[in-house]
Amino acid sequence: RKERMKEGRKPRKEGRKERRKEERRKEGVDPKYYMFSGLKDETVGRLPGTVAGQQFLIQDCENSNIYIFDHSAAVTIDDCTNCIIFLGPMKGSVFFRNCSDCKCTLACQQFRMRDCRNLEVFLCCATQPIIESSSNIKFGCFQWYYPELAFQFKEAGLSIFNNTWSNIHDFTPVSGELNWSLLPEDAVVQDYVPIPTTEELKAVRVSTEANRSIVPISRGQRQKSSDESCLVILFAGDYTIANARKLIDEVRRKRREIVIHLDLKMYHSGVLPFFSNWLLEIQATLKL
C-alpha cells in the first residue's frame, strides 16, 4: 500500500506549484500574467506594483526587450536568445538556463547560471554569484534608478549596500581559460540595457546615471588604482543610510573609489575581536 501511495503522490515541489496556481486562480489572477513565453522581436514589461512579490518565468524568447519594474519572489529564465532583460529586486533567486547573447540588469538574493554563453550582466547580488557550464559571461555593477526602486528593494528584503557582483564562483572552471570576466570600468549601462521607449514603459521614470543609482557603484575585484585604502564604519541609527549615501557621494565627488560596501549585523562576541585585530594592524603599520 505504501508503494501505491508513493506512485500516486506528486513530488513535493510540484505540489507546491500546483497549490500556488490554484490560489492565484481563486484570486482571479491569471498565472500567465507572471510569464513571458515565446516572444520574438517584441518589447514587453510589467509596471511597478503589478508583480508584487510573485514568481516570474521568462522562456523561449528571441530578440526581445523585457522589463520587470517590480519586486518578485524569484525569476527563472530559460532558452532565451539575444534578449535585453531588466529585473527588479528578487527576494530569492534568479536562474538562467540555456541562454545566449543576452544583456541584463538585475538585483537578487542569489544568482545562478547554467549552460549559458555570451551574457553581459549588470548585477546586484547579496550572495556569491554562481555560474556552471557557461562561457564568456561578463559582469558589471548594478546601475539603475526609478522612483519606486528603493521601496522594492525593501519589500524584497535586500540591502542596497550588500553587493557581491564581482565575486563569481565557477563550478566548472576550464584549465587555462576563464569562463567569466568583468565588463570595462567605463561600460555605459544604457549601451547594454537601454531605457524602454514604448508608451506604457517609458512612463517609469528611469535613469541609468551612476550618481542616481539606487545601488552605490563599487569597484569590486577590479585592480586597485592605488595601494592606499581605508575602512569606514557607520553604526546603526536613524540616519545611517542617509549618512552612508552622503559619504559615498562625497567619495565620488573627490574622484575616490568605493571598493566594497556591506550592511551587516555584528554581535557582541564578534565586535571586540574585530576591532582588536584592526587596532593591532594599525599599530603595526604606524610602528607604535
Task: Return binding residues for GTP.
Answer: 92-93, 109-112
Query: Residues 159, 121: contact at Cβ < 8 Å?
Result: no
Q: Strand pairing of 117-125 and 169-170?
A: unpaired
Q: Please, which residues have CB within 8 angstroms of residue 122's CB and are 6 or more apart in sequence?
A: 104, 105, 106, 139, 140, 141, 142, 143, 144, 165, 183, 189, 192, 193
Binding annotation? 92-93, 109-112
Cβ partners under 8 Å of residue 218, min gap 6: 141, 163, 165, 258, 259, 260, 261
Query: Contact at 8 Å (CB) between 198 and 43?
Result: yes
Beta strands per DSSP E along 9-166: 35-37, 43-46, 56-59, 65-68, 75-78, 84-97, 103-114, 117-125, 130-132, 135-141
Q: Which amino acid type is present at position 111?
A: F
Quickly tell me which residue has 520574438 as its cell: 40
The single residue listed with the C-alpha cell 576563464 is 178
C-alpha dist (Å) from residue 117 to 27, 77, 110, 243: 39, 14, 19, 40
33 phi and psi angles, rounded to 5 deg: -65, -25
Q: To which H or E segment does residue 4 belong?
A: helix 2-8
